[in-house]
Amino acid sequence: MIFLRSLAFNVAFAALTLALAVVGLPVFLGPRAWAYRLGCLWAGACMKLLRWIVGLRWEVRGTPPPGPALVVAKHQSAWETLALTLLLKEPAFVLKRSLLWAPPYGPYLRKAGMIAIDRTGGAGAIRQMRAAAAAALARGQSVVIFPEGTRTAPGAPPAYLPGVAALYRGLEAPIWPVAVNSGVYWGRNAFAKRPGAVVIAFLEPIPPGLDRRAFMARLEDAIETSTRALVEEAE
């Protein structure tokens, strides 16, 4: 049953994405906000497909930031990109540059002003990311970064990268940590999607002003402790 439901969802997901990519072409003639409206339509429809076909519901715990914010989220699945698109104000995701060329959604990511980075760019890439994040916040957008830079399996040892500390120190803004247990139901590159209830938890914000080591320790402890608890709850 899980196989058949997953197959049905994958087919519906691909059809929806392709259809909206074609129908949404006029957004390239308008402002950036049009791309976000289309993105919210797509994300909301995907969530409905997950519920109707797979039986995968979701629950929000804690309070999302009331306005533009730096959001640092655990990344276990493609699922949290859908959820954060719906829960935040025009979020600008930090993502690898190659995604801007991935059909059919790459051009839409570029139109929406996502923060694309070259992972081999070293200090120069970090400076560009920080400048782009500052511009996004100034436009009233939230900025989302996944501190490990990629999706990780539930229970895998964390490996936080320096980019998140560079944003924290350079922008001097509070950070909202986010924990999830999405990988229990929709794993990285996994065909199977399992029924249940994904939980996304917005944790206590971390104020600006901490030194690098104290910030990274507090961030990792908050996200990993909450994520472990959510995974245990799901399992």
Highest mean pLDDT among 88-97, 122-131, 198-207: 198-207
What CA–CA distance (Å, rounded) separates 122 from 125? 6
- CATH (residue range 2-234): 3.40.1130
pLDDT in tens, 20-38: 999 999 999 999 999 999 9
CA–CA separation, 226 vs 235, rounded Å?
14
pLDDT in tens, 135-144: 999 988 999 9
Average the pLDDT over 133-157 and give the result. 93
The one-letter code for the residue type at 158 is P
Q: Map out the domains of the chain as residue ranges.
A: 2-234
Question: Who wins on pLDDT, 190 or 27?
Answer: 27
Question: Is the confidence at residue 122, as pLDDT, over 80?
Answer: no
Summarize the confidence of residues 67-95 as an average pLDDT: 95
Which candidate, 194, 196, 235, places its Cα nearest to that of 4?
A: 194
Percent over 90 (pLDDT), the chain: 78
Cβ-contact 72, 178 below 8 angstroms: yes
**Sign of the CA dihedral 88, 89, 90, 94?**
negative
Q: What pLDDT is attached to residue 67?
A: 85
DSSP state of 89: S
Q: What is the pLDDT of residue 123?
A: 76
Angle subtended at Cα 125 by Cα 119 and Cα 130, rounded to the nearest 5 degrees: 120
- What was the pLDDT predicted at 121? 65
* Region 56-80 average pLDDT: 95
What is the band of 188 on the pLDDT scale with cuts at 50, 70, 90?
A: confident
The number of residues in the chain equals 235
Query: Mean pLDDT in the chain?
Result: 93
